[in-house]
Structure 1
Amino acid sequence: MIGVPVPLKYLDGMDSLLSIVQMPAGVPVATVAIGGARNAGLLAVRILGASDPGLIDKMVSFQQNLRQTALAKGERVREQTSKG
């Protein structure tokens, strides 16, 4: 099970987080950040990828794209800040 704490009107999701991480013995739960549905999906792909090499290939490609996007954004920020 993958738990995704949801931020609600009160407590900003802390109540949801605590209810997930305090599951009883015998009920294993992987928990992601409050509002972290995207990371929950990525974790699920990693788990399922243990038996599906195609999923692992897609995950690696996705991560490479994320890295390239982050590097490009960082470069743009450096260029903008150096122009002053």
Structure 2
Amino acid sequence: GVALGGMDALLATVQMPPGFPVATVALDKAGARNAAWLAAQILALTDAELSRKLSAARAKMREDVEKAGDEITRKYA
């Protein structure tokens, strides 16, 4: 077949009928990590411990971003 440059995948995703949800992530390293986060979020719906771990991990990421922002601000202020 003729390669559609990803348009076939896009159309398959956006044209899914009701009842067939599609979760789309990028095909790179970041996309793989986001796919793992998505799977963990789904599993955490019925796993309280996993839900707590996800919340803690997100809080840590938020703190790390704030710390990095503060360091950049101090360096360039």
Q: Same fold (TM over 0.5)?
A: yes
**AA matched with 2:71:** R
Any idea what the Cα deviations from partners look like across 1:41-72, whole Å, max 9, x if unmatched?
11111110111001100000100110110011
The DSSP-based 3-state class of the residue aligned with 1:74 is helix
Residue identity matched to 2:23: A
In structure 1, the gaps of 5 or more residues are 1-10
How far the C-alpha of 1:37 sits from its partner, in A, is 1.0
Is 1:63 the equivalent of 2:58? yes
What does 1:1-84 align with in structure 2 at a 5 Å threshold?
A: 15=6, 18=10, 21-22=13-14, 24-25=16-17, 27-35=20-28, 36-82=31-77
Alpha-carbon distance, 1:29 to partner: 1.5
Aligned length: 69
Higher strand share: 1
Rounded Cα–Cα distance in structure 2 between residues aligned with 1:24 and 1:71: 39
* 1:24 shift after superposition: 4.4
| Mapped contact 1:20–1:29 kept (Cα < 8 A) | no
When normalised by structure 1's length, the TM-score is: 0.67
Q: Which has the higher contact order (CA 8 A, sep 6+)?
A: 1
1:19 Cα deviation after fit: 6.3
Identity rate, percent: 32
Structure 2: any 5+ residue segments left out of the alignment?
none
